Every structure is written in C-alpha cells, then in structure tokens.
Amino acid sequence: MAGREHVRVAVVGSGFGGLGAAVRLRREGITDFVVLERADSVGGTWRDNTYPGCACDVPSHLYSFSFAPNPEWPRTFSGQGHIRAYLERVADVFGIRPHLRFGSEVKRMAWNAERLRWDIETASGELSADMVVSATGPLSDPKLPEVPGLETFPGEVFHSARWNHGYDLRGKRVAVIGTGASAIQIVPAIQPLVSELTLFQRTPAWVMPRVDRAITGVERALHRALPFTTQARRGLLWGIRELQVQAFTKRPNELGFVEQLAKRNLARSIKDPALRAKLTPDYRIGCKRILLSSAYYPALAQPNVDVVASGLAEIRGNTLVAADGSTAEADAIVFSTGFHVTDMPIADRVVGANGRTLAESWEQGGMEALRGASAAGFPNWMTVIGPNTGLGNSSMILMIESQLNYMADYLRQLDVLGGEVALDARPSAVHRWNRRVQDRMERTVWNTGGCVSWYLDAQGRNTTVWPGTTSEFRKATRRVDLAEYEVLRTVKSGKNSDSYDAAEVTA
C-alpha cells in the first residue's frame, strides 16, 4: 500500500454517467475523487461513436442534465458532435478536469476486506478508494458476431462504434450487418457514396418518422433570456413520455394504433411490395426500441441498395453468404451489431468480498442490483445505468440523475455512520427488489411482444429495462434504506494501530 494514491471515491468512465457523478460529488462538497477514463477525452458513447449520421433519438432538451441546461442546442434532435461538445463544456464549467485520469483503463478492482476499500489496478498505475462508482455504461464495448470465414475477408472490416475514417467508402461495395439504431443512421448517410450497399437484416425494425428541425435563433435567444422556458420545454417533453409508459409496461395492446402509423410510414416510403414485405416486422411495436428516421426507408428504395432478409452466416473471401443461401460481394463490412449489454466486460474485472467476480456472481440468476445500483457481496460499489435501469421510450439522463441522488445519499449515510465503514447490499434485499422488477416485467411489451431483443440476456431474462416511469424510479432511489444493507466496520487488533482483523458486521 506504500505510495499508492488513495481517494474517497473512484468513478469509472467519463460519459454522461461518470461526468454526472463527478459533478454531483463536487456539489456535495466532495473533492477527493478521481474519474478513471480509458480513452484520452471525455464523452463515452458520444466520443466513441463517430459514424456518418450519428445522432440522438431523444430530443436535445431532454437528453441533457437538468443542472446544466443548454439553450444553444441547434436541432431538436442533436448530432454526435454537438452532444460531445456539450459534455466537454460540462467538464469545464463544473471544474471536473483536475479529477480526470485519461489512459487509465481499469484492469482489476478488488475489495480489500481488512481495510474496507477497493484496490484498483489501471493501465496508468494503482490506487485505492473507499467507494467505487462504475459508470462504464452498457453501450461501451462493441459486440462482433462470430462469423465463419471472417478472417478470410480481404477487405476492410470495422464496427460502427469504431468507425475507420481513414477508409474511403466512395465507389465501394459495402455490406452493413444489422438493422438497429446505428444502422438506420449509417445506411442513408453512406448510400449516396457507395457503388453497392447490401444490408443484412436478421430482423426488421419498426421505424417512425423523425420530426427533426433546426431550432431557430429566436428560440435560442428566448431560452438564454428566460431560462424557465428551457425548463418548461424539457418538462413538456418529459411529461409526454411519462404518459406513454403505461402502453409499454401494462397495456401493450394499446400500441396497436402506433403500429398502424408505422405501417403507413412504411407504405408511403416503400412502393415495392416485395421490399415492403421484407421490412415489415412480425412482432408488436415497442418490443424492440422504436427507431426514428425519415431517411432510412427512402435510402433502401434506391437502385444501389439490396436488402437481404437474413442474417450473415458465412464469409468466403469477398463473398458474404446469408443464412438463406443468398450471396453478395463486398469490399468493406460494417458491423452494426450492438454492444455487450447483458455481459458487460467490466463485470469480469470487479472482485468482491467473497473472491468472486461480479460476472461470476451474476452467472446463474443474471444481472441484478438493489435499486439498479448495489450488488450483494460488493461493498461500497455502485453502478450507474445498472441492471434494469434502461428505458424504451425516454431519456436515460433522467435515470442517471436518479441514481446520482442515490449515490449522494449513500455517501451521506457513510458519513453519519462514521469511521472506517462500508455498506454491503443484503442478498435478500437484492433478490426482493429483483423479484418485484421481474414480476412487473412479465406483462410489458418487451417480454410479451414476440421479439428477441438486446434487452434480453442469454437465458431470455430482461435484465436491461426499467418496467415503470422515471418518476417511480426517482422515488425509489431518493434515499438509501439502511435496512437493505449490512454495515461493515474494521476492527483494529492489539497495540499495532496498523494491524486489522476481518471486518465485523453490524445488523
């Protein structure tokens, strides 16, 4: 331990969750913390995803911190560059720069039961912390499918989240694998540039028009002069989405009207009956995230685009073979195949009180955490955007801020308890919380809609989405209930003040 830096809180990641945690810590008067970031700048998902057409599908004024309103959003749905610039400004305005440790990817963090602290190994060195706030996010580590023959492909291959801007797509035959939120932005952006575009579609998505427009100078001036107008705009956007939650969580059949609107959107854009049939989903709208685009369908109708209604099964040199036997030639492959959401790599690097990794503790029953934050056996460790905190129709910033409320009260409780102390979520409390969540999940459209989505883990459990309103979640995370935790304290032994016995548990 000699020479090792020690901090009160170590935050992992500098996206919305990590920067939000850092700001909240400073607002709580806590300055003894670091933000560990594996890259060389802040931004998280909005730093890593730079693919053509990258933008947010949540309105700008709702997809920003309530404590850092931005009257200067240029569009109702902002692009990647503007969102990343916003996060850079947050880091500057709230004084987060001195706390940032770039190039510090976490290799391992292990709970030290004698000292009641976390020992952390990073790419830039070692440190310890009384508490860890893991804000790596579920959309940080790209998932590449195991495709036989991929190693034989002689052309360019990359994931949408690791876009190769040094490769010129102009005039190339490009295959895009996947039809999720990234693909529907990439396809219309690159379609005019490429000679041929082949889209490998395993499952079609429900797509609604994206009603995007430039925010006028008058609107921006009004928001600057009268800040309450920005708050009112945000509140209206939030309220509309809160009212929609019932249809997703309790009455999925009410989504039938929205489904008809989506079908009309498809019929207006795609005149070819065969192509329209390929693009028509066979599951209830909302089961997968509803995608927003006014350019996706028109791009697919262009003569240089072919939609293969089957997943990629094999690669033979330049030839891509679909599961239905159809083939396509390509010079480049873009995988738009999502991320490790239900099997986050960070879980393999966190070692708890019993010597097991977080991944091992979640192996049998799937991901679960008390109020989406605390895992049993991992004292003074919490995650932001943890299990069952995702949303299917609103802004994740709302959920992040709720979890930051929980983090702040967690630290207050540690202060009240005093001394060297830690809180460990009781297994019974974690399981009770998870049972309630999963019971509510059973009637949601995400579980009953007839699709297989990235919300589900390998065993078919929905460990990703929150089955309620953001208001309900905020209420559930307003305060830490100490009855749901075991209180751990160190016990010094003998005359040597540096000698410790194992931590004792206080009921």
Helix, strand or coil for residue 342?
coil
Query: Which H or E run includes 90?
Result: helix 80-93
Nearest to 489 by CA among 463, 469, 507: 507
* 391-441 pLDDT tens trace: 988 999 999 999 999 999 999 999 999 999 999 999 999 999 999 999 999
Q: Which residues contact 160 (CB under 8 A, 6 or more apart)?
A: 49, 51, 142, 178, 182, 183, 186, 334, 335, 336
Taking residues 259-281, what's their average pLDDT?
A: 97
Distance (Å, rounded) from C-alpha 223 to C-alpha 227? 5
pLDDT category of residue 490 using cuts at 50, 70 and 90: confident
What's the pLDDT at 505? 53
Distance (Å, rounded) from C-alpha 252 to C-alpha 241? 15
Name the burial class of residue 310, with classes exposed (0-12), middle (13-18) and buried (19+) by CB atoms within 10 angstroms of its CB.
middle
Phi, psi dihedrals of residue 174, rounded to the nearest 5°: -120, 135
DSSP secondary structure string for all residues of 40-78: SSS-THHHH---TT-B-SS-TTTSS-TTS--TT-SBSS-
* 148-166 pLDDT tens trace: 999 999 999 999 999 999 9
Distance (Å, rounded) from C-alpha 231 to C-alpha 401? 16
Helix, strand or coil for residue 160?
helix
Taking residues 88-117, what's their average pLDDT?
A: 98
Question: Does residue 288 have a pLDDT over 80?
Answer: yes
Question: Does residue 178 have a pLDDT over 50?
Answer: yes
Q: Average pLDDT of the chain?
A: 95
Q: List the structure tokens of 502.
A: 């194992």
Name the burial class of residue 88, with classes exposed (0-12), middle (13-18) and buried (19+) by CB atoms within 10 angstroms of its CB.
middle
Q: Which residues contact 361 (CB under 8 A, 6 or more apart)?
A: 352, 375, 376, 377, 378
Distance (Å, rounded) from C-alpha 134 to C-alpha 12? 5
CB 126 within 8 A of CB 34: no
* 309-331 pLDDT tens trace: 999 999 999 999 999 999 999 99
Distance (Å, rounded) from C-alpha 126 to C-alpha 119? 8
Nearest to 247 by CA among 238, 261, 257, 237: 257
Question: Does residue 167 have a pLDDT over 70?
Answer: yes
**Half-sphere exposure of residue 117, counting CA atoms within 13 Å on the CB side?**
18
* 220-246 pLDDT tens trace: 999 999 999 999 999 999 999 999 999
What's the pLDDT at 496? 45
Phi, psi dihedrals of residue 171, rounded to the nearest 5°: 75, 5
